[in-house]
Structure 1
Amino acid sequence: MELLKQNYHLEHNRTNENNEIFNLKEIRRRKWLRVQLELNNPNIPRNTIESLERFYFFITQHTSIKSIDFIDTVCLIKYINQSAKKEFKEISLPQTIKDIKHLLHFLINFRGIKHPPEIDLSLQNIELWTKL
Protein backbone atom coordinates (compact mmCIF):
# COMPACT_ATOMS: atom_id res chain seq x y z
CA MET A 1 0.00 0.00 0.00
CA GLU A 2 2.83 2.36 0.86
CA LEU A 3 4.42 1.66 -2.54
CA LEU A 4 1.16 2.67 -4.28
CA LYS A 5 1.10 5.94 -2.33
CA GLN A 6 4.71 6.66 -3.33
CA ASN A 7 3.92 5.94 -7.01
CA TYR A 8 0.89 8.20 -6.90
CA HIS A 9 2.94 10.94 -5.29
CA LEU A 10 5.66 10.62 -7.97
CA GLU A 11 3.12 10.64 -10.80
CA HIS A 12 1.36 13.63 -9.28
CA ASN A 13 4.67 15.51 -9.04
CA ARG A 14 5.52 14.67 -12.67
CA THR A 15 2.13 15.94 -13.78
CA ASN A 16 2.65 19.17 -11.84
CA GLU A 17 6.13 19.57 -13.33
CA ASN A 18 4.74 19.02 -16.84
CA ASN A 19 2.00 21.58 -16.20
CA GLU A 20 4.56 24.09 -14.92
CA ILE A 21 6.74 23.54 -18.00
CA PHE A 22 3.70 23.94 -20.26
CA ASN A 23 2.69 27.12 -18.43
CA LEU A 24 6.20 28.58 -18.74
CA LYS A 25 6.28 27.79 -22.45
CA GLU A 26 2.86 29.38 -22.91
CA ILE A 27 3.92 32.48 -20.98
CA ARG A 28 7.05 32.79 -23.14
CA ARG A 29 5.01 32.30 -26.32
CA ARG A 30 2.56 35.03 -25.32
CA LYS A 31 5.32 37.45 -24.32
CA TRP A 32 7.16 36.82 -27.59
CA LEU A 33 3.99 37.44 -29.62
CA ARG A 34 3.34 40.70 -27.72
CA VAL A 35 6.87 41.84 -28.46
CA GLN A 36 6.58 40.95 -32.14
CA LEU A 37 3.24 42.71 -32.49
CA GLU A 38 4.80 45.80 -30.89
CA LEU A 39 1.70 46.42 -28.80
CA ASN A 40 3.47 49.13 -26.78
CA ASN A 41 4.91 50.99 -29.75
CA PRO A 42 3.76 54.64 -29.55
CA ASN A 43 4.51 55.14 -33.26
CA ILE A 44 1.74 52.76 -34.30
CA PRO A 45 -1.70 54.41 -34.67
CA ARG A 46 -4.17 53.65 -31.87
CA ASN A 47 -6.73 51.97 -34.16
CA THR A 48 -4.01 49.65 -35.48
CA ILE A 49 -2.91 48.79 -31.93
CA GLU A 50 -6.51 47.94 -31.04
CA SER A 51 -6.72 45.64 -34.07
CA LEU A 52 -3.39 44.02 -33.17
CA GLU A 53 -4.61 43.50 -29.59
CA ARG A 54 -7.69 41.66 -30.86
CA PHE A 55 -5.56 39.60 -33.19
CA TYR A 56 -3.11 38.85 -30.35
CA PHE A 57 -5.99 37.58 -28.23
CA PHE A 58 -7.18 35.40 -31.11
CA ILE A 59 -3.72 33.95 -31.75
CA THR A 60 -3.10 33.13 -28.11
CA GLN A 61 -6.53 31.61 -27.54
CA HIS A 62 -7.22 29.79 -30.81
CA THR A 63 -3.88 28.89 -32.38
CA SER A 64 -0.51 27.48 -31.43
CA ILE A 65 1.39 30.07 -33.47
CA LYS A 66 4.69 30.95 -31.81
CA SER A 67 5.83 33.69 -34.17
CA ILE A 68 4.04 36.22 -36.35
CA ASP A 69 6.06 34.80 -39.25
CA PHE A 70 3.67 31.84 -39.17
CA ILE A 71 0.52 33.90 -39.67
CA ASP A 72 -0.88 32.71 -42.97
CA THR A 73 -4.05 32.98 -45.03
CA VAL A 74 -5.64 30.06 -43.16
CA CYS A 75 -5.06 31.91 -39.88
CA LEU A 76 -6.73 35.03 -41.25
CA ILE A 77 -9.74 33.01 -42.42
CA LYS A 78 -9.94 31.39 -38.97
CA TYR A 79 -10.01 34.90 -37.49
CA ILE A 80 -13.03 35.75 -39.64
CA ASN A 81 -14.65 32.40 -38.78
CA GLN A 82 -14.14 33.00 -35.06
CA SER A 83 -15.94 36.34 -35.31
CA ALA A 84 -18.68 34.72 -37.38
CA LYS A 85 -19.15 31.97 -34.76
CA LYS A 86 -19.91 34.72 -32.27
CA GLU A 87 -22.31 36.19 -34.83
CA PHE A 88 -20.12 39.31 -35.06
CA LYS A 89 -21.41 40.44 -31.65
CA GLU A 90 -17.97 41.15 -30.18
CA ILE A 91 -16.38 42.36 -33.41
CA SER A 92 -18.48 43.39 -36.39
CA LEU A 93 -17.72 42.07 -39.87
CA PRO A 94 -16.42 45.47 -41.04
CA GLN A 95 -14.19 45.69 -37.96
CA THR A 96 -12.95 42.13 -38.52
CA ILE A 97 -11.94 43.08 -42.05
CA LYS A 98 -10.28 46.28 -40.79
CA ASP A 99 -8.38 44.22 -38.20
CA ILE A 100 -6.98 42.00 -40.94
CA LYS A 101 -6.05 45.01 -43.08
CA HIS A 102 -4.36 46.67 -40.10
CA LEU A 103 -2.45 43.46 -39.37
CA LEU A 104 -1.29 43.16 -42.98
CA HIS A 105 -0.27 46.84 -43.01
CA PHE A 106 1.66 46.31 -39.78
CA LEU A 107 3.41 43.19 -41.10
CA ILE A 108 4.49 44.96 -44.27
CA ASN A 109 5.30 48.46 -43.00
CA PHE A 110 6.47 47.93 -39.43
CA ARG A 111 7.89 44.41 -39.50
CA GLY A 112 9.18 44.49 -43.08
CA ILE A 113 7.68 41.14 -44.04
CA LYS A 114 8.11 40.86 -47.79
CA HIS A 115 5.59 38.08 -48.37
CA PRO A 116 2.64 38.60 -46.02
CA PRO A 117 -0.36 36.29 -46.16
CA GLU A 118 -2.56 36.98 -49.15
CA ILE A 119 -6.30 37.25 -48.79
CA ASP A 120 -8.87 38.87 -51.05
CA LEU A 121 -11.41 40.51 -48.76
CA SER A 122 -13.41 42.07 -51.57
CA LEU A 123 -17.02 41.14 -52.24
CA GLN A 124 -15.86 39.69 -55.54
CA ASN A 125 -14.23 36.82 -53.65
CA ILE A 126 -17.47 34.86 -53.55
CA GLU A 127 -15.67 31.61 -52.75
CA LEU A 128 -14.35 33.01 -49.45
CA TRP A 129 -17.64 34.55 -48.37
CA THR A 130 -19.77 31.49 -49.21
CA LYS A 131 -17.42 29.29 -47.16
CA LEU A 132 -17.94 31.55 -44.19
Structure 2
Amino acid sequence: MTTAETCTHALSRPASWLARAETWLDDRGKGAWIAAMVLGFIVFWPIGLALLAYMIWSKRMFGKSCSRHNPMTRHAFGAMKPSGNTAFDAYKADTLQRLEEEQEQFETFLQRLRAARDKAEFDQFMDDRAKEARRAPREDAQGE
Protein backbone atom coordinates (compact mmCIF):
# COMPACT_ATOMS: atom_id res chain seq x y z
CA MET A 1 0.00 0.00 0.00
CA THR A 2 1.37 3.40 -0.94
CA THR A 3 1.48 6.37 1.42
CA ALA A 4 -1.40 8.07 -0.42
CA GLU A 5 -3.53 4.92 -0.17
CA THR A 6 -2.74 4.62 3.55
CA CYS A 7 -3.74 8.25 4.14
CA THR A 8 -7.00 7.97 2.21
CA HIS A 9 -7.80 4.65 3.88
CA ALA A 10 -7.16 6.14 7.32
CA LEU A 11 -9.26 9.19 6.48
CA SER A 12 -12.18 7.12 5.15
CA ARG A 13 -12.28 4.88 8.23
CA PRO A 14 -13.72 7.50 10.64
CA ALA A 15 -16.28 8.61 8.07
CA SER A 16 -17.48 5.05 7.56
CA TRP A 17 -17.56 4.52 11.33
CA LEU A 18 -19.64 7.67 11.75
CA ALA A 19 -21.91 6.66 8.88
CA ARG A 20 -22.44 3.22 10.45
CA ALA A 21 -23.19 4.82 13.83
CA GLU A 22 -25.66 7.21 12.21
CA THR A 23 -27.39 4.34 10.38
CA TRP A 24 -27.51 2.30 13.59
CA LEU A 25 -29.11 5.18 15.50
CA ASP A 26 -31.54 5.89 12.64
CA ASP A 27 -32.64 2.25 12.64
CA ARG A 28 -33.52 2.53 16.33
CA GLY A 29 -35.40 5.83 15.99
CA LYS A 30 -35.48 9.18 17.75
CA GLY A 31 -35.20 7.64 21.24
CA ALA A 32 -31.78 6.22 20.40
CA TRP A 33 -30.60 9.66 19.27
CA ILE A 34 -31.83 11.23 22.49
CA ALA A 35 -30.20 8.49 24.58
CA ALA A 36 -26.91 9.00 22.73
CA MET A 37 -27.14 12.74 23.34
CA VAL A 38 -27.81 12.26 27.07
CA LEU A 39 -24.90 9.80 27.34
CA GLY A 40 -22.74 12.31 25.49
CA PHE A 41 -23.62 14.98 28.07
CA ILE A 42 -22.83 12.56 30.92
CA VAL A 43 -19.48 11.43 29.50
CA PHE A 44 -18.21 14.79 28.21
CA TRP A 45 -20.57 17.72 27.76
CA PRO A 46 -19.21 18.91 24.35
CA ILE A 47 -20.10 15.51 22.87
CA GLY A 48 -23.69 15.89 24.02
CA LEU A 49 -23.78 19.43 22.74
CA ALA A 50 -22.39 18.35 19.37
CA LEU A 51 -25.01 15.60 19.11
CA LEU A 52 -27.77 18.05 20.01
CA ALA A 53 -26.54 20.50 17.35
CA TYR A 54 -26.36 17.71 14.77
CA MET A 55 -29.86 16.49 15.66
CA ILE A 56 -31.28 19.99 15.22
CA TRP A 57 -29.28 20.66 12.04
CA SER A 58 -30.30 17.36 10.42
CA LYS A 59 -33.93 17.81 11.55
CA ARG A 60 -33.87 14.61 13.58
CA MET A 61 -34.92 16.43 16.75
CA PHE A 62 -38.13 18.03 15.52
CA GLY A 63 -38.98 15.92 12.47
CA LYS A 64 -41.71 13.30 12.57
CA SER A 65 -39.16 10.51 12.24
CA CYS A 66 -35.60 9.81 11.21
CA SER A 67 -34.81 10.19 7.53
CA ARG A 68 -34.27 6.50 6.93
CA HIS A 69 -37.70 5.65 8.29
CA ASN A 70 -39.60 7.70 5.72
CA PRO A 71 -42.30 5.37 4.35
CA MET A 72 -42.23 7.01 0.90
CA THR A 73 -38.49 6.38 0.57
CA ARG A 74 -38.86 2.80 1.72
CA HIS A 75 -41.74 2.24 -0.73
CA ALA A 76 -39.79 3.70 -3.66
CA PHE A 77 -36.87 1.35 -3.07
CA GLY A 78 -39.25 -1.59 -2.69
CA ALA A 79 -40.58 -0.95 -6.19
CA MET A 80 -37.15 -1.65 -7.69
CA LYS A 81 -36.43 -5.01 -6.10
CA PRO A 82 -37.78 -8.20 -7.69
CA SER A 83 -40.81 -9.87 -6.15
CA GLY A 84 -39.85 -13.43 -7.08
CA ASN A 85 -42.82 -13.80 -9.46
CA THR A 86 -41.38 -13.56 -12.98
CA ALA A 87 -44.71 -12.71 -14.64
CA PHE A 88 -45.34 -9.86 -12.22
CA ASP A 89 -41.75 -8.63 -12.51
CA ALA A 90 -42.08 -8.56 -16.33
CA TYR A 91 -45.39 -6.67 -16.05
CA LYS A 92 -43.84 -4.23 -13.57
CA ALA A 93 -40.82 -3.65 -15.82
CA ASP A 94 -43.08 -3.02 -18.84
CA THR A 95 -45.28 -0.65 -16.85
CA LEU A 96 -42.30 1.27 -15.47
CA GLN A 97 -40.80 1.54 -18.96
CA ARG A 98 -44.13 2.77 -20.35
CA LEU A 99 -44.40 5.35 -17.56
CA GLU A 100 -40.85 6.56 -18.22
CA GLU A 101 -41.65 6.95 -21.93
CA GLU A 102 -44.85 8.85 -21.09
CA GLN A 103 -42.89 11.10 -18.75
CA GLU A 104 -40.34 11.83 -21.48
CA GLN A 105 -43.15 12.58 -23.94
CA PHE A 106 -44.84 14.88 -21.44
CA GLU A 107 -41.56 16.72 -20.72
CA THR A 108 -41.04 17.13 -24.48
CA PHE A 109 -44.59 18.48 -24.77
CA LEU A 110 -43.92 20.95 -21.95
CA GLN A 111 -40.72 22.11 -23.66
CA ARG A 112 -42.62 22.69 -26.92
CA LEU A 113 -45.35 24.52 -25.01
CA ARG A 114 -42.79 26.76 -23.27
CA ALA A 115 -41.01 27.42 -26.57
CA ALA A 116 -44.31 28.35 -28.25
CA ARG A 117 -45.24 30.67 -25.36
CA ASP A 118 -41.79 32.28 -25.42
CA LYS A 119 -42.03 32.75 -29.20
CA ALA A 120 -45.50 34.31 -28.91
CA GLU A 121 -44.29 36.67 -26.19
CA PHE A 122 -41.22 37.60 -28.22
CA ASP A 123 -43.31 38.16 -31.36
CA GLN A 124 -45.66 40.39 -29.35
CA PHE A 125 -42.68 42.36 -28.04
CA MET A 126 -41.26 42.80 -31.54
CA ASP A 127 -44.66 43.89 -32.90
CA ASP A 128 -45.02 46.44 -30.10
CA ARG A 129 -41.51 47.67 -30.74
CA ALA A 130 -42.18 48.02 -34.48
CA LYS A 131 -45.40 49.96 -33.77
CA GLU A 132 -43.46 52.28 -31.44
CA ALA A 133 -40.80 52.80 -34.13
CA ARG A 134 -43.47 53.65 -36.77
CA ARG A 135 -45.31 55.95 -34.38
CA ALA A 136 -42.19 57.91 -33.28
CA PRO A 137 -41.37 59.43 -36.74
CA ARG A 138 -45.01 60.49 -37.22
CA GLU A 139 -45.07 62.24 -33.87
CA ASP A 140 -41.80 64.01 -34.71
CA ALA A 141 -43.20 65.15 -38.06
CA GLN A 142 -46.41 66.39 -36.46
CA GLY A 143 -44.54 68.19 -33.68
CA GLU A 144 -42.50 70.33 -36.10
TM-score by length of 2: 0.28
Larger Rg: 2
The structure, 1 or 2, with the larger RCO (C-alpha pairs under 8 Å, 6+ apart) is 1
Question: Structure 1 length as normaliser, TM-score?
Answer: 0.30
